[in-house]
Amino acid sequence: MKIVILDGYTANPGDLSWDGLRELGELTVYDRTAPEELLSRANGAEVLLTNKVIIDASSMAALPDLRYIGVLATGYNVVDIVEAHRRCIIVTNIPAYSTMSVAQMVMAHLLNITNQVAFHAEAVRQGDWQQSLDFSFTKAPLIELDGLTFGIVGLGNIGGQVALMAQSMGMKVMAVSSKSEEVLSQLGICRAKNYEQLFSESDVVSLHCPLTDDTRHLVNRERLALMKPTAILINTGRGPLLDEQAVADALAAGQIYATGVDVLTEEPPCKGSPLITAPRCYITPHIAWASSAARRRLIDIATSNVAAFLRGEALNCI
């Protein structure tokens, strides 16, 4: 059984092991694969694992031995699922491996904005405390979260965990969700009537919905105009959920207070992004998923998926 990993570096830059997959067949691991390298590297492979390398209909047609595609992520838009099904190629993904890590990053962005820990620590390093006339000093507003409203779009695994963390800090949680009123009530979450209520009443808005035609640019100029000037926007979902220029303009105009994002529409932002130079915008490079614990779970689940396929069983099939 020939197994090829097309772009294994982000999941395992060298601190973890692929040995579990190696025990299942002849394994070849590439750190990165350019589009023009795909066919030569995947030639003869029965099992192909990919994170961001696109496997479309033409690629499948050129790889007659291919029986299985494992996506090393939760989202599977890099694979033409319809064509895979037509060719009886099994496609699997890795669900729920990064829930705690992504939820933690949401809170990291929120606390960075409200407490400015790194900013004040650097000020101390630069000598500001030594020069202070008082026993303490602040160089940015400090915001208490207790009693504020945390708005969530999407209450899946990650959104649900974020809700629990927000509640643990005394915040009231409001959500746009497909879950029933009864379920939300049991969770102590208020259902927003619509996006407009959530954006206008929330002190923090965090996005945890999938990217679809309906959610692309969910955060647009109209909804930003509804938000409080003290509001904080957080996106650890997908970059195109935001109209990035509209968000940058809202920050520059003081329509909203701050934004924390872990994802951009273009990654890496080769052409730049208006958010990179926007005031009070804090960007991390799509790393919410990438804790060592989450990456270890990803590799373990990927290995279990392939092992199940080889046994003739279905696990995490799309």
Q: Give the active site residues.
A: 238, 267, 286
What are the Cα distances from residue 98, in Å, to 72, 112, 253, 278, 282?
12, 21, 35, 28, 21
Element (H, E) at 60: helix 57-61
Largest pairwise CA distance in the chain: 74
Which tokens belong to 129? Answer: 């405390």
Q: Are 199 and 143 in contact (CB under 8 A)?
A: no
d(CA 86, CA 112) in angstroms, rounded, equals: 48
Beta strands at 189-191 and 172-176: parallel, antiparallel or unpaired = parallel
Q: Are 205 and 234 in contact (CB under 8 A)?
A: yes
d(CA 270, CA 99) in angstroms, rounded, equals: 28
Element (H, E) at 310: helix 292-310
Which tokens belong to 314? Answer: 């279905």
HSE toward the beta carbon, residue 14, CA cutoff 13 A: 0
